[in-house]
Amino acid sequence: MSSEVPGSSWQDADGLHVDTRGLHPPDPMVAILWHIGRPGQFGPITAYFDRNPIFLLPELEELGWRYEYAMCEPDGVRLILRAAT
């Protein structure tokens, strides 16, 4: 990952993981939009947040990405992101 992109990321057998926990807005959105904008990236991307990323969700839809909640608890949110087909 580029040092200019906030958060951390890693590739695993189930796809790309992007951890934005501990970041202040708008850095979580910046990190996710950077990753989904990479050529050839269609997901799945597992994204980790401290809180529900309500401002990111309409952006994802506008860019043709689907999301599903894998976890939504008071101490964190995990979304699975995939490019719409």
Domain that holds residue 79: 8-83
User: Into how many domains does the chain fold?
Assistant: 1
CATH number of the domain residue 20 falls in:
3.30.110.40
The first and second tokens of residue 6, run together, are 């906030």
The first and second tokens of residue 41, run together, are 């990236």
Q: What is the DSSP letter of 38?
A: S
- The answer, yes or no, to whether residue 55 has pLDDT greater than 70, is yes
Mean pLDDT value across residues 2-24? 92
The first and second tokens of residue 26, run together, are 């708008």
Q: Is the residue at 2 inside a domain? A: no
Q: Is the residue at 3 inside a domain? A: no
Find all residues with CB under 8 Å of 34, minimum gap 6, and list them.
2, 5
- In one-letter notation, the amino acid at residue 63 is L
Q: Is the residue at 53 inside a domain? A: yes
Q: Is the residue at 42 inside a domain? A: yes
Q: What is the DSSP letter of 5?
A: S
The pTM assigned to this predicted structure is 0.91
Q: Is the residue at 50 inside a domain? A: yes
